[in-house]
Amino acid sequence: MPDSLIARDLRKQYNQSTVIFDNLNVTFKPGTATGLIGANGSGKTTLLRILTTVAYPTSGSVLLGDLNIHEHPHTYLSHLGFAFDSSELPMFANTVEVLEAIMRSRNVWDDSSNERINALLEMLDLDERRFNLIGTYSSGMMQKALIAMALIANPDIILLDEPFRALDEATVIRLKDYLLQKKQDGKIIILSSHNSELIQELCESVIEFPYVG
């Protein structure tokens, strides 16, 4: 089970007049899911980008146990799976190739890996298109591929930015059930969504943006 992920006194400011959030203190505990809600541009994705080390806070820190994630990103990222913008997907590869590459880079490839890939693609209803180039996918299929890449290495921390966007209803239900199981397995889940009903079903706590500390 992972350590808690702790945001301490986080502040993100782009210029003298634009403060995205300030004095954000929150502990994301293993076995919990936290929802981020708010209008577009309110700070949800900014926080998720900080939690992936893609962005840096203006001040404050994020710790995984005693590890400062921005000072030791490689160690931290080995615990992380995240899904953001499908435009960053490798368009000239197929999903199986990318999933295998992720697992091998994380040193989690073993005799059961093909079975794990098959189960995940079946859960996301992407199995019939597994060998098609990602660049030929619809927006919904790209979203599924993005989620598969976030989940395939069974990460301790799962960060998802609008994961249910463009998904069909059946896949939404299966993904929700999958995330509930991962929460029971002790994973840390943090996700943004405009679907308040799904947030309520998945999450014990909610951070609302704009955040007022």
In order along its 213 residues, the chain shows pLDDT tens digits of: 679 999 999 999 988 778 899 999 999 999 999 999 988 888 999 999 999 999 999 999 999 999 999 999 999 999 999 998 766 799 999 999 999 999 999 999 999 999 999 999 999 999 999 999 999 999 999 999 999 999 999 999 999 999 999 999 999 999 999 999 999 999 999 999 988 899 999 999 999 998 766
Q: For position 212, what pLDDT does the model report?
A: 67
- What is the H or E stretch that residue 22 is in? strand 19-28
Residue pair 209/48 in contact by the 8 Å Cβ criterion: no
Q: For position 1, what pLDDT does the model report?
A: 62
Q: What are phi and psi of 56, to 5 degrees?
A: -110, 145
Kindly report the number of other CB atoms within 10 A of residue 205's CB atom.
12
The pTM for the full model equals 0.94
Domains and CATH numbers, the chain: 1-79+157-163+184-213 (3.40.50.300), 88-155 (no CATH)
Q: For position 18, what pLDDT does the model report?
A: 86
Q: For position 211, what pLDDT does the model report?
A: 78
Q: For position 189, what pLDDT does the model report?
A: 98
Residue pair 63/50 in contact by the 8 Å Cβ criterion: no
In whole angstroms, give the CA distance from residue 177 to residue 63.
Answer: 28
Residue pair 130/121 in contact by the 8 Å Cβ criterion: yes
Count Cα atoms within 13 angstroms, Cβ side, for 85. 5
Q: For position 168, what pLDDT does the model report?
A: 94
Q: For position 210, what pLDDT does the model report?
A: 83
One-letter amino acid at 104 equals: R
In this structure, are strands 157-161 and 188-192 parallel, antiparallel, or unpaired? parallel
